[in-house]
Amino acid sequence: MLAFLSDCASGQRAQQDIVLLDVARAGALPHQITHLDGLVRALRWAPDDRALGFLYIPGDTRRADALASTGPQVGVIGQTNIEHQRVAQVAAQGGTPQLLTPEGLFVYEFDYSPQARRIAYVAAPPPGADHWWVAQLYVQPTRADARPRAVVDPNTVAGPLHGLQIALPRFAPDGRRIAFIGGLMSDQGATGGDVYLVSAEGGAPVDLTPGIGVTPSWFAWAGAHALLVNAFAGGSSQLATLRIDGGHGQWQPLRTMHAALGDGTAMSALALAAQGDALAWIQGSFETPPEVWTSTLRRAADGGIAALAAPRAITQINAGIRPLWGKSVSLHWSNQGFHVQGWLLYPANYDPHQRYPLIVSVHGGPSWAVQPRWPGVNYGGAPLSAMGYFVLFPNPRGSFGQGERFAKAVRRDMGYGDLRDILAGVKQVEARFPVDPRRVGITGWSYGGFMSMFAPTQTHVFRAAVAGAGLSDWLSYNGENSIDAWMKPFFGASVYDDPAVYARSSAINFIRQDKTPTLMVVGEFDAESPGAAVVRDVARAEGHGRAHAARRVSERGPRLRQPGAQARRAGARTGLVRQIPAARCACRAWLRTRRGSAMRQRSRRGVCTSVTAPCTHCAASTLPCGAARCSPCSVPMVPARPRCSRFSPPCSSPARARRACSVSIACANASRCASAWASCFRSRRWRASCRYATTCI
């Protein structure tokens, strides 16, 4: 029997209900068994197949977490518009669902015991978006009137788990033990840390993977004393078995793959067959699009996992798709005692005799890692590679992939040690590859947006920056966002107890040192990375010495509606992808600010009136800089090499000076272009063709 969620029968409302389909009976039709009124998530069968459990927010269809956009914040803080996500259960025959967990707890994940008599779950008092970082592990009988019992409280427990986050609770086959992942995590759903084991009755949790050099992110019981684990290993995926002997764990790698794995519902999750003898997942990389892969488990004499058979793809859905970007390589470097890994995308149509610009793309988190992944909703660095850039994806300290010591190294040091790791990676790329050091840029989203705003205040390596959903002031960020609780584990204290550590990592305090042109993009309803700090940053900097006022995108432009920090998961084509054309076309920005004033004042500077660029897909036409799509092939594109195709001479120049002046510029830097014009005008050296070459990022 197949159970799934569907909104087909709910009319115009975005309401999902549970539907069953008997796949063993030919011609069977789907059968709706619920009529719910609220948000439904994490549907799963109870082990006895007599009921289905799910997470449920009665009367609401909004996801109550940091990844969801927020509405108007009106009411009493902590009381108004508070969602209560609870574990609910409905009989397989249908009927009215039972709410199993109490209203005073917001449940994030849950699991059934093998006999379906108890449930284990991670929960915290609402609001759920903010309190995941202080959530506890609970166990209770599978009854609506049962009282939960806290089994693990990371806020009070002694040992390495103290003050960290917990996720993925899973009952052992005997129902007496619970395994879970505990670690320093910056986002719910981005799971990583050590594997812990605790009695279902309570007690001290045991770390089964202390000092391990990878980051477990998903696991499943594969026997009474063995776990099958998917872990971040550098920037790759490692499948391993964790044998449990008393209070100790033995890590045995099975296979490491330069690819990203998932099950389509959760990052890093796989699907293990009920019999425990087969495994399935979705796999993709920079070079190969996603397909469904499978493998079989070879058992050892004691029931553990001895080996993993060679994986094979069982679908060819995307077999005809080929990448339009360059190849990828894994890079490794050392810095201040840390081993750092990153991925480098080559430019498309790479020519080793040509020098290329470099873009550094910093991942969000910081608790995450870039793996080779086929570009999806967020596109990654693929468009930049297709446009002729090297793209570096560093996994600096604070990232997953090299154990908890590496992940915790960013604590109380945001923007410093991690930036030094990134700069060391840039130096290695410049030493090994034909990169133009005068054309290095930085970009990122969420934590990567913060780094893109902070880095230019600490170094002048980067000649341009695009910061998505970033922030410049950690002190004011506290209270402006909906997830204040996440900061304390990373800064070591609240903003009230130790404001200095927050100020030290705030770009706003070093803004006078920032001379880098920066585009900052923030979603209007982003509760996680609100835009107030961005506006302050721009307003205080006053264009970094140039009179460009901060601007809000109007209704006539590409207004960003989705939450900025999570556009990569929400599926919205917002943020960096939509803003790159405007960011790249500095000539357009100069034209907007200068045409009305400078021309009216009869300035001696010329005006760039047209910017064109070849389509990176069909390469057969040109289009105006900033156009979203190529008109012949309709492929979304960003101009690869914008150039001034028509440049008007100064309106106050003599008639003899009104001749065609071809100005070749690599990035449409109209300011320098105009300076060259002014110099030409002052020297009175007018010719039929007056050419100036300028370079910048």
Say how many domains are in the chain: 3
Using the CB atoms, write b or e for 106-127: b if 16+ within 10 Å: bbbbbbbbeebebbbbbbbbbb
Q: What is the CATH number of the domain that holds 563?
A: 3.40.50.1820
Residue type, 258: H
Say yes or no: 626 and 507 in one domain.
Answer: no
pLDDT at 691 > cutoff 80 = no
**What digits encode the pLDDT tens for the residues 479-503?**
777 788 999 999 999 999 999 999 9
104: helix, strand or coil: coil
Q: CB atoms < 10 A from the CB of 350, how many?
A: 15
Residue 447, classed as helix, strand or coil, is helix
- 394 belongs to a structural domain: yes
* Half-sphere exposure of residue 229: CA atoms within 13 angstroms, side-chain side: 32
Contact 613, 642 (CB under 8 A): yes
In this structure, is residue 47 part of a structural domain?
Answer: yes
Q: Residue 147: is its pLDDT beyond 50?
A: yes
Residue-averaged pLDDT of the chain: 80
**Alpha carbons 242 and 250: distance in angstroms, whole number:** 5
Verify that 49 and 90 share a domain, yes or no: yes
Q: How far is CA 43 from the centre of its chain?
A: 25
Q: How many helices (H) and strands (E) does the chain have?
A: 13, 37
What does the pLDDT read at residue 624? 53
Assign 664 a pLDDT band (cuts: 50, 70, 90). Answer: very low
Residues 513 and 632 in one domain: no
Contacts of 145 (CB under 8 A, 6+ apart): none
Task: Measure the CA–CA gap between 579 and 379, rounded to whole angstroms.
Answer: 13
Are residue 504 and residue 647 in the same domain, yes or no? Answer: no
Per-residue pLDDT reduced to its tens digit, 421-437: 999 999 999 999 999 99
Q: Are residues 562 and 631 in the same domain?
A: no
Q: Is residue 537 part of a domain?
A: yes
CB of 53 closer than 8 Å to CB of 110: yes
Question: Do 341 and 459 belong to one domain?
Answer: yes
> What is the enclosing helix (H) or strand (E) of 599?
helix 586-600
pLDDT, position 476: 87
Q: Find the mean pLDDT for residues 445-471.
A: 95
If one counts every other C-beta atom within 10 angstroms of the C-beta of residue 341, the result is 23
The pTM of the full predicted model, rounded to 2 decimals, is: 0.77
Instruction: Report pLDDT for 388.
Output: 97
Q: Looking at residue 49, which CATH number applies to its domain?
A: 2.120.10.30
535 domain-assigned: yes
Length of the chain, in residues: 697
Is 163 found in the same domain as 19? yes
Q: Fill in the amino acid letter for 89.
A: Q
- The answer to whether residues 156 and 65 belong to one domain is yes
Q: In whole angstroms, what is the distance from residue 683 CA to residue 690 CA?
A: 12
Q: Does residue 125 share a domain with residue 24?
A: yes
Domain presence at residue 544: yes
Q: What is the mean pLDDT of residues 271-295?
A: 94
Omega cis (within 30) before 173: no
pLDDT value, residue 536? 53
Tell me which of 584, 612, 645 is where a domain ends: 584
Q: 18 forms bridges with which residues in the sheet? A: 5
* pLDDT tens per residue across span 159-208: 999 999 999 999 999 999 999 999 999 999 999 999 999 999 999 999 99
Tens-place pLDDT, residues 371-420: 999 987 666 799 999 999 999 999 999 999 999 999 999 999 999 999 99
d(C-alpha 44, C-alpha 66), whole Å: 23
State the pairing for strand pair 136-141/149-152. Answer: antiparallel
Both tokens of 550, joined, read 């901060």
Query: What is the C-alpha to C-alpha distance for residues 344 and 262, in angstroms, rounded to an integer?
Result: 22
The two tokens of residue 466 are: 């695009």
Domain extent at residue 86: 2-229
What are the tokens at 519? Answer: 């585009």
For the chain, percent of residues with pLDDT exceeding 90: 61
Does residue 56 sit within a domain? yes
- Let me know: does 543 contact 515? Beta carbons within 8 Å: no
How many CB atoms neighbour CB 311 within 10 A? 19
User: Rounded CA gap, 104 and 692, in Å?
Assistant: 69
pLDDT at 385: 96
Percentages of the chain per state (helix, strand, coil), in multiples of 5: 20, 30, 50
- Residues paired with residue 356 on neighbouring β-strands, in sequence order: 435
217 inside domain: yes
Strand locations in 569-676 (E): 607-614, 622-624, 643-648, 663-665
Boundary residue ending a domain (202, 229, 256): 229
Q: Three-class SS of residue 566?
A: helix
Same domain, 503 and 481: yes
Question: For residue 324, with 0-12 CB atoms within 10 Å meaning exposed, 13-18 middle and 19 or more buried, which class applies?
Answer: middle
Q: Are residues 570 and 441 in the same domain?
A: yes
Residue 61 lies in a domain: yes
Q: Is residue 541 over pLDDT 80?
A: no
- Report yes or no: 134 and 485 within 8 Å, Cβ to Cβ: yes
Dihedral, 110, 114, 118, 122 alpha carbons, nearest 10: -20
Single out the residue in 584, 608, 633 at which a domain terminates: 584
CB contact at 8 A, 248 and 230: no
Q: Does 215 have pLDDT greater than 70?
A: yes
Per-residue pLDDT tens over the stretch 15-24? 889 999 999 9
Q: Is the dihedral of CA 125, 5, 115, 250 positive or negative?
A: negative
191 and 333 assigned to the same domain: no
Task: Check pLDDT > 60 for residue 535.
Answer: no
